[in-house]
Amino acid sequence: MMEQRRFGDTDLVSSALGFGTWEMSTTEYGHIDVDEASAAVGAAIDNGITLFDTAEIYGPYHSEEILGRALGPRRKEVVLVTKVGFKVDGTHARDSTREWVLARTEGCLQRLNTDWIDLLLIHWPDHDTPFAETMGALEELKTAGKIRHFGVSNFTVEMMKECERHGHLAANQVGYHLFDRRMEAQVLPFCLEQGIGFMAYGTLGFGLLTGAFTPDTTFGEGDWRSAGNAFNLPLFEQEHFLKELRCTERLKTLASRAGRSVAQLAIAWVLGHPALSVALVGIRNRSELEENVAAVDWKLTDEERTEIDRIFAEEGVPTYVDAPQAV
């Protein structure tokens, strides 16, 4: 059985590895074989993955619809996470008003073909709506039995403190991986201290840590990485991209000494943080699934962690620990 982890001080428990479905949006991650990805959902459950993460804006709607169909009668076997808080009119404007959160959650329930959501997150902070209003809406949904738990995504410590004045957050979901360690400065310690679960997205560096990219890799028009920017970091700009690839090659060699892949090393590194509840990975097919699942039982040694940091230093690749969080 895969390792199970608790979300902070709540009663929400899931597999340490979670199935992220941004790639199932079909509109933002280049080409994906929907049938193959759908089949991977059932296979993931068979292999011990019990958490599936999606969002209304992925597509929009496509990811939730595909996941809902793929889960089918197995929905009761999993922890289902989705997110609201964006306008879906193409503007990507944020809206976490009470009316919007309540209305959009109804749509999520329909698309996911479920009577309840295990964890509902506010996708990004809405700087124009008081957090008290948003938290009130989430409490209403919980009281009505439409959600079991609620949390946030991409919130800073100060934002979480304000939210916590109006209810307890089960989780904060933010990007965290070897090439982006911004969460280590404040957010991860705060979550650990306050009993708030932490969900890491981008565990594989949005592909950088899969070993699949080469210096000739390009990203098509329908792929968000083509802009070069990854949540305010220049990870996919050419100069940085080439340095990161050299770093990944050396990490690949380090992983191979343990009979592992670089993707498995990336997952093990993220899961090694004590605040981590779940590490999310995109899974497009059965081979990726098996590789990712096999990483969960790998506990990196202090020596391996030190060598990872040495590789970054020698290659001149920043880890952005002190860089401002994208909000």
Which of the following is catalytic: 58, 176, 201, 320? 58
Active site residue 58: yes
3-state SS record for the chain? CCCEEECCCCCCEEECEEEECHHHHCCCECCCCHHHHHHHHHHHHHCCCCEEECCCCCCCCHHHHHHHHHHHHHHHHCEEEEEECECCCCCCCECCCHHHHHHHHHHHHHHCCCCCEEEEEECCCCCCCCHHHHHHHHHHHHHCCCEEEEEEECCCHHHHHHHHCCCCCCEEEEECECCECHHHCCHHHHHHHHCCEEEEECCCHHHCCCCCCCCCCCCCCCEHHHHCCECCECCCCHHHHHHHHHHHHHHHHHHHHCCCCHHHHHHHHHHCCCCEEEEEEECCCHHHHHHHHCCCCCCCCHHHHHHHHHHHHHHCCCCCCCCCCCC
As annotated, the active-site residues are 58
